[in-house]
Amino acid sequence: PVPIVAVVGRPNVGKSTLVNRLIGRRQAVVEDVPGVTRDRIAYDAQWNGRKFTVVDTGGWEPDAVGRAAAIAAQAEQAIAASDVIVLVVDATVGATDVDDAAARVLHRAAKPVILVANKVDSVRAEADATQLWSMGLGEPHPISALHGRGSGDLLDIILDAL
């Protein structure tokens, strides 16, 4: 069976943009409006001759109260349905309560979790990524899904975890 990589995180952190990087195509729907990706969508991908499936998640736009619960449920689903979980955080914003709620759920997972600090568009922004050590999920991996910065290294890390 082809291993499954689930990409989770709150709306607008850049999950779909990252999925496009990981699959090497423009297929996942990227929108400036949060919450656009409908439910969970799976894409075939390949890196260094290894095949894997990338699952983009999203589709909910709950109110502020429901948001932490919604992302916790999303994280639970990802744990159940995938081999590796990629948690995406917007490094320019930092870890919000919602991000920390997801991290707490994923921390208990018996599956590898890769913490991605997205929107690190320049060397100067790398300090933002360092702050995310506070989430307790190990090393934050700085990338710019938009520009492709760090995406090759991230693919290597994902494949190592499979």
**Residues in touch with ligand GDP (CB under 6 A):** 9, 11-17, 30-32, 34, 37, 58, 118-119, 121, 144-146
CB of 93 to ligand GDP, least distance (A): 11
Rounded to 10 degrees, the C-alpha dihedral 82/115/18/119 comes to 160
Name the minimum Å distance from CB 36 to ligand GDP.
6
Cβ-based neighbour number of residue 42 at 10 Å: 15
By the criterion CB under 5 A, which residues form the site for Mg ion?
15-16, 37, 58
Orientation of helix 151-161 relative to helix 15-23, angle to 10°: 80
Specify the DSSP class assigned to residue 92: T
Q: How far is the CB of 75 from ligand GDP (least distance, A)?
A: 14
Structure tokens belonging to residue 25: 């195509």
DSSP class of residue 98 equals H
Nearer to Mg ion, 58 or 150 (CB): 58
97-107 and 64-81 helices, crossing angle to 10°: 30
Q: Is 16 annotated as a binding residue?
A: yes
Q: Is 47 annotated as a binding residue?
A: no
In angstroms, what is the minimal distance from the CB of 78 to ligand GDP? Answer: 14
Q: Binding residue per annotation — 90? A: no
Is 121 labeled as ligand-binding?
Answer: yes
Query: What's the distance, CA 73 to chain centroid?
Result: 15
Binding residues: 9-16, 56-60, 118-121
Binding residues for GTP: 9-16, 56-60, 118-121
